Amino acid sequence: MNVEPVNPPRSLSFPLDALLFSGQGEQFRLTIVANFSGTALDVTRSSYLRFVTSNSNVATVDANGVVTAVAPGSGYVTARYTQGSVSLALAIRVSVPLPPGIASTSNFIISITPSSGGVAVGSTTSFTVSSNSDTTFTGSVALSVDGLPSGAAANFSPTSINVPGSSTLTISTLQSTPTETDILTISGASGNLNQSASVALTVIVPPAVTSVSPTSGAAGTSVTITGTNFGSAQGASTVTFNGTRATVTSWSATSIVTPVPSGATTGNVVVTVSGVASNGVSFTVTSSAPSITSLNPTSGPVGTSVTIAGTNFGSTQGTSTITFNGTTATPTSWNATSIVATVPTGATTGNVVVTVGGVASNGVAFTVPQASRR
């Protein structure tokens, strides 16, 4: 029976670090808790939840979350919650001891480093798989990833790993929904023990930046970054301007607003989500806000040529603008310290303002005489 809110959960949890059985045939019923923006709910019987065992030689699990110890060794039971485009997984370690009086012929343990990681769809990631053993074990360790959609590929290199020793496992070409956690499981057997190791893989559809607006500006300029797969909330995700981290003011799955950080230099704007970086889009950082020092002349009718002197105008106009009391003018020349423009049609008395990279200068008064009436 489903008791969840409409919005999917952010994470899954289980109250124990592991299931440590005392012997074969023993059973335990799992309780899975989903965390919904501060509200925790028992979702063990939800239709969105399913259970999978990594090693049925060690333990089995039924549709109701009842785990049964089968044989000595270790393995994992995965609880997977799928609702819409969100797919979360939780790996629960299971350990079954050898019967009393029976010695292990090979007490080996498999481990994976790091214990978790993020990988973008279409990219690769690597883990170190290790084992320790008091006897040489030459069998191959089986590899599997729980949670991939039917037909999706998880390419492993190498395709099998021998223990004892240490090997590097590379995984590539994972397919995923925008929010998904998969469980990488490595299993092997030696003597009368089955062992497994597991790691949570956060599979990420990479963020993509389609545009930034404006494309230039000084430190403090508000910039809107438009794209896809940014995630609904910032969390640990970041925005950088040529490597300098910005402090974001708003964040959604398709739009981010942030001021240009202090110390930023000209280069690419990059959004990084769960450790996976987007493409870079060029942004020009101007030295400081434009400033008008004088106008010559300070009054004149429509069509009058006006020289605007100042600083930080930029070497070319680009997307920068000049306005006469809010009416945009067309410049005839432009450099970093001087602009020549004609008084535009419709202009009225008020301030002349130069805007560079979305940052406006101070305003300097200009008088537009009213046409005489007869």
Domains held by the chain: number: 3
* Phi (first) and psi of residue 25, to 5 degrees: 90, -15
Q: Are residues 274 and 343 in the same domain?
A: no
Residues 109 and 255 in one domain: no
Q: What is the pLDDT of residue 86?
A: 76
Strand 193-204 to 116-120 pairing: parallel
pTM to 2 decimals? 0.46
**Which residues are CB-contacts of 329 (< 8 A; sequence separation ≥ 6)?**
322, 323, 341, 342, 343, 344, 347
Co-location of 86 and 234 in the same domain: no
Q: Is the pLDDT of residue 347 over 80?
A: yes
Residues 198 and 81 reside in one and the same domain? yes
Q: Which has more confidence, 61 or 6?
A: 61
Q: Is residue 69 part of a domain?
A: yes
112 contacts: CB under 8 Å, gap ≥ 6: 127, 128, 129, 130, 169, 184, 186, 197, 198, 199
Lowest mean pLDDT among 177-186, 287-296, 308-317, 348-357: 177-186
Report whether pLDDT(341) > 60.
Answer: yes
Kindly state whether residues 214 and 327 are assigned to the same domain: no
For the residues 246-260, what does the mean pLDDT come to?
94
Domain with 325 in it: what CATH number?
Answer: 2.60.40.10
The Cα angle at residue 356 between residues 350 and 358, in degrees rounded to 5:
90
Q: What is the mean pLDDT of residues 76-84?
A: 84
Q: Decide if 62 contacts 56 (C-beta within 8 A).
A: no
Identify the pLDDT of residue 362.
93
What mean pLDDT, rounded, does the chain reach? 78
Among candidate residues 149, 180, 204, the one where a domain is terminated = 204
pLDDT score at 139: 41
Torsion angle, alpha carbons of 349, 350, 356, 359, to 10: -160
My answer on whether 98 and 190 are in the same domain is: yes
Mean pLDDT of 74-81: 84
CA distance 95 to 106: 16
Say if 373 falls within a structural domain: no
Same domain, 83 and 212: no
Please tell me whether residues 32 and 144 are part of one structural domain.
Answer: yes
| 54 and 170 assigned to the same domain | yes
pLDDT at 136 over 50: no
Answer for the pair 337, 313: CB distance below 8 angstroms, yes or no. yes
Based on the fold, state whether residues 212 and 170 are members of the same structural domain: no
Maximum alpha-carbon separation in the chain: 119
For residues 91 and 200, give the distance between their C-alpha atoms in angstroms, rounded to a whole number: 7
* Burial classification of residue 183, based on how many CB atoms lie within 10 Å of its CB (0-12 exposed, 13-18 middle, 19 or more buried): buried
Residue 140 pLDDT more than 60? Answer: no
Whether residue 234 is found in the same domain as residue 193: no
pLDDT in tens, 261-318: 988 988 999 999 877 788 999 998 876 778 999 999 999 999 999 999 998 887 788 7
**Two tokens, residue 361:** 């200068």
Lowest mean pLDDT, pick from 58-62, 222-226, 230-234: 230-234
CA 171 – CA 190 distance, rounded (Å): 25
User: Which of 266, 285, 304 is at the close of a domain?
Assistant: 285
Q: Which two tokens stand for residue 292?
A: 């008008």
pLDDT band of residue 28 (cuts 50, 70, 90) is very high
Task: Assess whether 268 and 233 both reside in one domain.
Answer: yes
Domain residues for the domain of 330 are 291-366
